[in-house]
Amino acid sequence: MKILGIETSCDETAAAVVEDGTRILSNQIASQVEIHARYGGIVPEVASRQHILSIIPIIEQAMAEAEVTWRDLAGIAVTIGPGLAGSLLVGVNVAKVVALARGLPITGVNHLEGHIYANWLADHNIDFPLVCLIVSGGHSDLVLMRGHGDYVVLGRTRDDAAGEAFDKAARILGLGYPGGPAIEQAARAGTASIQLPRAWLKGSSDFSFSGVKTALLRLVDGGKVSSVADAAASFQEAVIDVLVAKAVAVAKEHRVKQILLAGGVASNELLRDWLVKNSPLPVLVPEPVLCTDNAAMIAACGYYRLQAGKTDGLDLDVVPSLKMT
Ligand code: KG4
Ligand code: ZN
């Protein structure tokens, strides 16, 4: 069963064809990073205009690479949220038009759920129940997953998301955008020698990353940072320390079989290594290109939704503030 996935929630226009929820036949991504880098962050108006220009060519490329025609497809999966309203609208409307014209079933996918399903695209043996740590630009969620489409949110960020904290720290350190890869790169030349606070929020599985960011800002403003590399390494460790400890604690508490990592921040090598080293349970992580935004993960999630009979009508709409429930 071949599904076309469409993803336009933020600054990547992406289309992919995935077979049976696990086999990637194509995975095309048109990144807008260079356009937004000029402004130091994503400009929503610019993002939606760029999606309009890229969406049709990207779908055509994805179908050509997968060597499929519309007749070979069993359905369309499209991100409905969370994300930028204007960006989401482009993907959802194109998906609806195609579904209507070609008589294909359509399913709306939660972008965060999509991130989790990137793990089904790797050569993983996934076993429920599991805990998934989703760390992206807008979210840091700890989710208990008991089966396909069955989630319980155990913890989430109370302020900045992990990726957002990386992006803000990079701006404070003058490292540019996007911040996560820039911090990781800078940290390679430094040591984590600067003491930065960790918000443990005892008794809770929630996260908070605004304190560590503010502490970094104070040090930089006070002229107390002599090495950007050391500051980047110290910041990276402070964030990852908390992410790993909380994910492992929650997994033990709920006696799950595995820990899954997902979202853009999951492409961070230190996070991947520390989680593997500190977890008594198997840790599954998708390859970096499947951690950041892509449409293959949306198609994979869409496959399981369609299998469960979760189709949507042509009244399908965007939900910019959609959460994991
Ligand atoms: O999942 P994603 O591609 O988009 C959203 O759904 O938000 O995540 C993007 C976030 C950005 O904040 C980016 O700085 C962060 O993921 N990120 C990283 C790394 N690569 C991307 N953070 C830390 N280390 C990385 N290597
Ligand atoms: Zn994402």
Same domain for 238 and 270:
yes
Q: Is residue 316 part of a domain?
A: no
d(CA 320, CA 307): 25
Q: What is the pLDDT of residue 289?
A: 95
Q: Is residue 131 part of a domain?
A: yes
Q: CB within 8 A of 97, min separation 6: which ones? A: none
Same domain for 185 and 110:
no
Same domain for 299 and 253:
no
Same domain for 133 and 84:
no
178 lines ligand 1 (CB under 6 A): yes
CATH number at residue 223: 3.30.420.40
Q: CB within 8 A of 24, min separation 6: which ones? A: 16, 17, 18, 121, 296
d(CA 290, CA 297): 7
Same domain for 159 and 21:
no
Q: From the alpha carbon of 179, which atom of ligand 1 is closest?
A: 14
Answer whether 0.95 is exceeded by the pTM: yes
d(CA 82, CA 211): 25
181 lines ligand 1 (CB under 6 A): yes
d(CA 27, CA 66): 9
Same domain for 44 and 104:
yes
Q: Is residue 35 part of a domain?
A: yes
Same domain for 247 and 100:
no
27 lines ligand 1 (CB under 6 A): no
Q: Is residue 11 part of a domain?
A: yes
166 lines ligand 1 (CB under 6 A): yes
Same domain for 279 and 135:
yes
The whole domain housing 87 covers 2-117+291-307
The rounded average pLDDT for each run of 10 residues, N- to C-terminus, in the chain (325 residues) is 98 97 98 90 94 98 98 98 98 98 98 98 91 96 97 97 97 94 98 97 97 98 97 98 98 98 98 98 96 98 98 98 92
Query: Closest-lying ligand to the alpha carbon of 163?
Result: 1
Q: Is residue 320 part of a domain?
A: no
Q: Is residue 317 part of a domain?
A: no
Same domain for 157 and 77:
no
Same domain for 173 and 47:
no
Same domain for 136 and 56:
no
Ligand 1 atom 1, closest CA: 264
Query: Closest-lying ligand to the alpha carbon of 114?
Result: 2
Q: Is residue 274 part of a domain?
A: yes
Q: Is residue 165 part of a domain?
A: yes
d(CA 145, CA 251): 11
Mutate to test the pocket of ligand 1, among 87, 265, 322 (most ligand atoms within 8 A of CB): 265
C-alpha 263 – ligand 2 centre gap (Å): 6
Same domain for 164 and 111:
no
Domain count for the chain: 2
Of residues 85, 80, 246, the one with CA closest to residue 157 = 246
Query: Closest-lying ligand to the alpha carbon of 169?
Result: 1
